[in-house]
Amino acid sequence: MDRPPYIEVIHDNKESKLPQLVYMSRERRPSSPHRFKAGALNALLRVSGVMSNAPYMLVLDCDMYCNDPSSAKQAMCFHLDHNISTTLSYVQFPQTFYNVSKNDIYDAQSRSAYQNKYQGMDGVGGTVCAGTGYYLKKEALYSTPINQDNMTTLFQKAQLEYKWESQLYQSEESLQEAEEKFGASRKFINSLNHQRNGRENVLCDEMIDEAKALASCTFEENTRWGKEIGYSYNSLLESSYTGYLLHSKGWKSVYLYPKRPCFLGCSTIDMKDALVQLMKWASGLVQVGLSKYSPFTYGLMSKMPLVQNMCYGYFMFSHFLSIPCFLYGIVPPLCFLSGTPLFPKVTSPWFALFTTIFLSSLSQHLYEVMSSGGNLRTWWNEQRIWIIKTVTACLFGCLDVLMKWLGVAKANFRLTNKAIDEEKLRKHEKGKFDFQGAKLFMVPLTFLVVFNVICFIFGMKRLVLERNFEEMFGQGFLSFYVLVLSYPILEGLVVSKKQK
C-alpha cells in the first residue's frame, strides 16, 4: 500500500456543542515499516495532540461500537478520582459481542477471562489490556507515575518528569533533548504539558500541514517512539504488551464490568477464524514471555506487584499446555492399545487421588460457570472448545514463535475475518461446528481423533479378552472421555466426506 498522509477536519466545534471530528490516515510506503496497529495508534496520539490535545482517549476496534453513552462518565469516575488518578493509566471494559449464539460453541465471549481472571487481576494492580474498549490516559504512554505525596501542582509534576519543560524551551539543549525523544515538532512537544496559546484554528493550513508531518513515515526516525514512549513495537499484541510495560513502570489500571455492556462487537462464527485469532494471541504472548521482558526476569525486577506479575506469567506461558495436552492425546491411548498400565489399579488408594484431582478440576470449572450465570451446556461447551483450541491454535502459536526465532517466518499481522456468511451463521445459531477453511488446524485434530478411535476400539477388545479391568480402567475411561469431547470433530469429518 502506497499513500500520503491525509487529514480532514469533518466537524470543528468552534461554534457548536458537537464534538470536534477529525479523520486521519497516516502515510504508508512500501519502503517504510508501518508497525501495524501500534504505528497507527502512535500516529493518532501525535495528531490528536496538536489538533485537540485531550488528556484521555478511547480505543475501539473497527468492528465495535458504543452501546452505552455513559461509558466515558463511568471511566472518568476513576480517572478523576484524586485518590488513584495519579497512578491510573487506563480503564478497561470487557469485550462483549452482539452476535454470540445461545450455545456459544466457540466460547467467543471468553467467559473465563472476562468474568473471572480479569476481575481477579483487577484486585492486584490491574488487568491485561484487551486492545479495545478502554479509556487511556495519554500521559501514561509518555512518563512514569508520580507519587501523589510528592506532587503539589501539575507544573511541579511536569518539572519532575520532563526537566526540559521547566521553562518553555528557552535553551537549545532542552529543545534538542525533547526532539530526540518525541520528534521534531514544537507544537506536539508543547502539547505534552498542555501548553496551548488560546484556541488554535485546526482548519488553518499550518495546522493541517503539521498534522500531516506527524502522520508521516519518517517522523519517528531517530526518536524513542515504539521503544520508550507510545505503544511498543516489540510485539504484534501492541495493547497487551504496552499495558504490561505500563504496569511494570508502576502504573495501575481498573477493570470495569457493568451490567449493561458499554461496547459491543462482532465475534467469529466459524472454527477457522476463532483459531486464527487465538493463534495470533498465543504467538504474541509467548513471544513476550520468552523475550528479555519476561515476567520471570524483567517483571520480577519491575514495580509490578508479585501476584500481578504471576498472572501475566500465566497468560504468557499457559499456551505451552498445548504440548502436554497433545502428548496426553497420544501416550494414554497408545498404552491402552498395547495393554500397558499407566494409572494405578482401581483398588489402589492412589487411584482415589487421581480421581479426586480430576473431579475437583471439573467441579471448580462448573462452579465458576454457574456462579457467572452459565449452565451445564456452557460448562460442556467450554470443556470441549478448550481441548480443541489447546491442541491447535495454542500449539501453532508456540510453533510460530519458534519459526520466527529460527528465521523461517516473519512477523505477520493476521486480520480476523468478521464478515457474516449466511451459511456459517445458520450453523453457528444451530450450535454446529464449521471447520471449513481450517485445514491446517484440522491436521493435529484429525490425527488425534482417528488415533484415539483406533486405540479405543482395539484397546477395548484387548480389555474384554484379557479382563484386566482393574489395571486398564483409568486409561479406558480417559480415552472414552476424549472421544466424547471429540464428537463434533468426528461429525465434521463425516459431513465433509459426504460433501465430497
Could you tell me the sign of the dihedral formed by the alpha carbons of 479, 484, 489, 491, in that order? positive
Quick check: helix, strand or coil at residue 24? strand
> Does the annotation place 37 within a ligand binding site?
yes
| CA nearest to 418, candidates 232, 224, 212, 276 | 276
Which strand (E) or helix (H) includes residue 478? helix 469-485
**C-alpha cell of 253?**
489500571
Cβ atoms of 468 and 346 within 8 Å: the answer is no
Could you tell me the sign of the dihedral formed by the alpha carbons of 103, 105, 110, 115, in that order? positive
**Cell numbers 495436552 correspond to what residue?**
325
CA distance 274 to 322: 16
Beta bridge mates, 134: 59, 92
Summary count for the chain: helices (H), strands (E)? 21, 9
On the 0-12 / 13-18 / 19+ scale of CB atoms within 10 A, 498 is: exposed
Quick check: helix, strand or coil at residue 17? coil
| Concatenated DSSP letters of 403-434 | HHHHTSS----PPPP-PPPHHHHHHHHHT---
Cβ atoms of 455 and 462 within 8 Å: the answer is no
> Does the annotation place 61 within a ligand binding site?
yes
**Cell numbers 488560546 correspond to what residue?**
198
Could you tell me the sign of the dihedral formed by the alpha carbons of 391, 392, 394, 397, in that order? positive
329 CB-near residues (< 8 Å, 6+ apart): 391, 448, 451, 452, 482
308 CB-near residues (< 8 Å, 6+ apart): 121, 124, 125, 126, 247
CA distance 396 to 281: 11
**Cell numbers 498465543 correspond to what residue?**
282
263 CB-near residues (< 8 Å, 6+ apart): 60, 64, 65, 66, 67, 68, 71, 93, 95, 96, 132, 133
| CA nearest to 449, candidates 478, 482, 472 | 482
Annotated binding-site ranges for Mn(2+): 37, 61
Which residues are part of a known binding site?
37, 61
